[in-house]
Amino acid sequence: MTRTRSVVARTAVAGVGVALLLAGCSDDPDGGSATATSAAAPTSAPSLSDFPALPVQRAEPLPETVSCAYPSDGRTAAKPAQPPRAENVPTTDTGVTVTTTQGDIGLTLRGELSPCTVNSFLSLASQGYFDDTACHRLTTDPTLSVLQCGDPTATGTGGPGYEFANEFPTDQYAPGDPQAQNPMVYPRGTLAMANAGPGTNGSQFFLVYGDSILPPQYTVFGTIDETGLATLDEIAAAGVDGGGPDGSPAATTTLTAVRTA
Through-space distance between the first and last CA atoms of the chain, rounded to whole angstroms: 38
| Residue 158 forms part of a structural domain | yes
The pLDDT, as a whole number, for residue 55 is 96
Rounded Cα gap, residues 145 and 211, in angstroms: 7
Pick the closest to residue 158 from 197, 189, 196 (CA basis): 196
The whole model's pTM is what? Answer: 0.87
Q: Are 92 and 104 in contact (CB under 8 A)?
A: no
Per-residue pLDDT at 18 exceeds 50: no
| Residue 34 forms part of a structural domain | no
- Residue with more model confidence, 5 or 228: 228
Rounded Cα gap, residues 231 and 261, in angstroms: 18
Q: Are 220 and 58 in contact (CB under 8 A)?
A: no
Could you tell me the pLDDT band of residue 2, with boundaries at 50, 70 and 90? low
Per-residue pLDDT at 10 exceeds 80: no
Domain interval for residue 228: 2-28+92-260
Q: Are strands 16-21 and 27-28 parallel, antiparallel or unpaired?
A: unpaired
| Residue 77 forms part of a structural domain | no
The pLDDT, as a whole number, for residue 44 is 63
| Residue 159 forms part of a structural domain | yes
Q: Residue 31 region, left (φ>0) first, then alpha (ψ -120 to 50), else beta?
A: left
| Residue 204 forms part of a structural domain | yes
The pLDDT, as a whole number, for residue 3 is 58
CATH number at residue 115: 2.40.100.10
Per-residue pLDDT at 205 exceeds 90: yes
| Residue 36 forms part of a structural domain | no
State how many domains the chain has.
1
| Residue 68 forms part of a structural domain | no
DSSP assignment of 233-251: HHHHHT-BTTSSSEESBSS
Q: Are 70 and 163 in contact (CB under 8 A)?
A: yes
Q: Quote the percentage of the chain above a pLDDT of 70.
A: 83
